[in-house]
Amino acid sequence: MYSRSSEQNPNISDAQSIMATILKNLPRECSLTKIEYEGPRIALHTNNPKFLLENNKILPNIVAQIKKRIVLRIDETLRVEEDKFKKIVEKSLAKKSNISDILFDPALGEAVIFLKKFTEITNIESISDQLTLDTGWKVTFKKAPKMISSIKAINKIAKDTADYRVQFFKKVGEKIFRERMNANYEASLISLGGFAEIGRSAMILSTNESNILIDCGLNNYTDDPLLKFPRFDSIGKKLSDIDAVLLSHAHFDHTGFLPTLFKYGYQGPVYCTEPTAYLMYILFREYVRNNGKFAIYNGIDYEKIFSHIIYLNYNIVTDLTPDIKVTSYNAGHILGSSSFHFHIGNGDHNFVYTGDIKFGKSSYLENAVWNFPRVETLLIECTNGGREDSFMTREEAESKLINEVNQVLKAKKIVLMPTQLIGTSQELLVTLDQFIRQKKIKKCKIYMDEILAEINSIHEFDSEFLNKDLHGNIISDEYNPFRSKSISLISDIEGQELKTGIVIYPSSTLNCHKTFEYLKKIATDPDNLIIFTSKPNETSLARQIIEGKKMLSMGREQIEVRCRIESIYSLNSHSDFNQLNAYISRLRSKLKKIIVNHGERSKVQNLSSYSSKVQNVPTQYMLNQEALKLL
């Protein structure tokens, strides 16, 4: 409605000046065939890739000037057929049998070669470059994970829609690099879900140029549509207003509603890390499988997502729209989980959304990043933000875990650990496997539901998102907990004979159809033990058991819980109250305002008032369906 017509729009000729800078800095020998937007990147297509690969300072130099992401692409006419590609690769590697799979993405001209043993190739970079030149495909090597089916399934979608994706990337790029329509900068945060509650996390970062949807979750613990879905119905934004979707991590309460957006016609980009994409694919598939005709979308709906994904790497600035840049940082919560730093306008406002964070020790992930250059407004999660959520230290937790487990193993009995499918499962697997190796606990079976094998495989596939040591160990085949010999998969709990050991059961709430079978086998023995690692929500069976309920019934069957019950919440994938405050303390001097979300109302109230009073930063929590002016 209004614009400050007297001011000069500073970005009017940005797109032009970017092109001019690129052309000015590229010698003739680069032999460009086209310059094209590829989503947030500018793709330089060449039929002389050798020159730019050898003169490898030219592109970084341009990037430094234009501050945009550039990617080198080999002209499509130089690409060899897939069959020929395989032959060339087989020839160039010492052992042909080392290749497990090759996946192609024709839209980007990229090929990923999966190796059984990474260590057999010493000079991996020069081999990649040579193969790139020889085949016309940008080649990368990955270590082959134990299971590759979901990775192949996503690759198939990408391949099947390659032509569409080429046009999609171009269109997205044109929108990102369009001229700004406003000279002034304004920004608001609009809460759709996950504020003063957990579940259905979703919000819109809105400026007068852009609308970015951040997370798009579903609350699977209610059937009331007003509580289950993000409140898109009452915020005055249409699906077509959304320029981009960003996902902080794969968990269903942050992603589960996304297929519905595609079902109803969203066709824009979805930005997330690679593990987030692969992990959420598995979650969507399981949701549709488990919910049958009650699922609110089907395979066709969620598969659409995977032809619209643009991957984010940690620590790389990416233009989302003409006035918003985002950088994804490790959030330490689960594999590929991000905190997002948003740079709005010309740095007029810097907004950080933590996503779910673990600001504390983990056996398989790095600690959450906190050292952002600038932050005016921080939006922080609050799962464990109650005053009662000051858990024991990691050291105390580990020693309690060791003692409890050893006691049970000594009696040749079983420990059941109900936990999240993604996150704490891996934390426990790696921790327990290391304890066994370090002989801190007795050698024993680590039983896991078979779905975990697939989840674990994504951790192998994207091992660069694990902590440095573990990544190094896996790549070098020195140590890989996800292939530990202690692991024993359970495909059918009823038919399974359970020896003494630890059962990692991927449902922290125990609200799962298999639960009863597990409990029947384990909970009825007074010498067995259940250890909870997260505080389950009020409506869950887990909560009832923690609170002492003994008789459980399902249909006509009844079981009596006779085993011991313990909890070690420090092991869970969220920061506790102290860790949240430690995180805030680190950032405090930079902050103008803190907003608290993703926690029960009493917890967001507690953290807000503590942070306002003790940390002395103006802090508030929002409810859903609110809008808050940031700038």
Using CB under 8 A as the criterion, which residues of the chain lie in contact with its own copies when the complex forms?
A: 1-4, 184, 186, 188, 190, 206, 208, 224-226, 229, 232-237, 620, 623-629
What residues form DSSP beta bridges with 272?
Answer: 311
Cβ nearer to its own copies, comparing 258 with 428 = 258
Query: In whole angstroms, how close is the CB of 187 to its own copies at the nearest point?
Result: 10
Cβ nearer to its own copies, comparing 235 with 334 = 235
Cα angle vertex 429, ends 427, 435, to 5°? 100
Query: In whole angstroms, how close is the CB of 626 to its own copies at the nearest point?
Result: 5
What residues form DSSP beta bridges with 532?
Answer: 567
Phi/psi for 593 (5° steps) reads -155, 145
Q: What kind and span of H or E run contains 396?
A: helix 394-410
Query: In whole angstroms, how close is the CB of 228 to its own copies at the nearest point?
Result: 9
Cβ nearer to its own copies, comparing 125 with 224 = 224
Cβ nearer to its own copies, comparing 3 with 17 = 3
Alpha-carbon distance 383 to 580, whole Å? 10
Cβ nearer to its own copies, comparing 81 with 223 = 223
Query: In whole angstroms, how close is the CB of 3 to its own copies at the nearest point?
Result: 8
Alpha-carbon distance 480 to 261, whole Å? 38
Residue with tokens 């497990």: 100
Cβ nearer to its own copies, comparing 95 with 613 = 613
Q: In this structure, are residues 310 and 596 in contact, taking their beta carbons and an 8 Å threshold? A: no
Helix residue ranges per DSSP H, 136-256: 149-160, 162-176, 225-228, 252-255
If you count them, how many residues does the chain have?
Answer: 631
Spatial neighbors of 342 by CB under 8 A, at least 6 apart, are 205, 212, 324, 325, 326, 350, 351, 352, 353
The beta strands (E) that lie in 50-163 are given as 69-74, 99-105, 110-115, 138-143
Query: In whole angstroms, how close is the CB of 201 to its own copies at the nearest point?
Result: 17
Cβ nearer to its own copies, comparing 206 with 337 = 206
For residue 501, give both structure tokens: 């050991």
Q: In this structure, are residues 368 and 580 in contact, taking their beta carbons and an 8 Å threshold? A: no
Query: In whole angstroms, how close is the CB of 538 to its own copies at the nearest point?
Result: 21
Query: In whole angstroms, how close is the CB of 191 to its own copies at the nearest point?
Result: 9
Largest interatomic CA distance in the chain: 81
Query: In whole angstroms, how close is the CB of 188 to its own copies at the nearest point?
Result: 6
Residue 189, judged by CB atoms within 10 A of its CB (0-12, 13-18, 19+), counts as: buried
Cβ nearer to its own copies, comparing 33 with 612 = 612
Cβ nearer to its own copies, comparing 229 with 516 = 229
Q: In this structure, are residues 317 and 343 in contact, taking their beta carbons and an 8 Å threshold? A: yes
Alpha-carbon distance 250 to 455, whole Å? 11
Query: In whole angstroms, how close is the CB of 232 to its own copies at the nearest point?
Result: 6
Cβ nearer to its own copies, comparing 102 with 296 = 296
The beta strands (E) that lie in 10-88 are given as 32-38, 41-46, 69-74
Query: In whole angstroms, how close is the CB of 627 to its own copies at the nearest point?
Result: 4
Cβ nearer to its own copies, comparing 220 with 500 = 220
What residues form DSSP beta bridges with 567?
Answer: 532
Q: In this structure, are residues 71 and 44 in contact, taking their beta carbons and an 8 Å threshold? A: yes
Residue 559, judged by CB atoms within 10 A of its CB (0-12, 13-18, 19+), counts as: middle
Give me the sheet containing 99-105, strands edge to edge.
99-105, 110-115, 138-143
Query: In whole angstroms, how close is the CB of 75 to its own copies at the nearest point?
Result: 45
Query: In whole angstroms, how close is the CB of 258 to its own copies at the nearest point?
Result: 16
Nearest to 554 by CA among 506, 518, 509, 504: 518
Cβ nearer to its own copies, comparing 358 with 598 = 598
Cβ nearer to its own copies, comparing 416 with 604 = 604
Cβ nearer to its own copies, comparing 104 with 195 = 195
Q: What kind and span of H or E run contains 215?
A: strand 211-216
Write 514-517 long-range contacts (CB < 8 A, 24+). 514/449, 515/541, 516/552, 516/554, 516/557, 516/559, 517/493
Query: In whole angstroms, how close is the CB of 206 to its own copies at the nearest point?
Result: 8
The DSSP code sequence of 510-522 is --STTHHHHHHHH
Number of separate helices (H) and strands (E) present in the chain: 20, 28
Query: In whole angstroms, how close is the CB of 307 to its own copies at the nearest point?
Result: 25
Instruction: Specify the DSSP class assigned to residue 164.
Output: H
The beta strands (E) that lie in 159-296 are given as 187-193, 202-207, 211-216, 244-246, 270-272
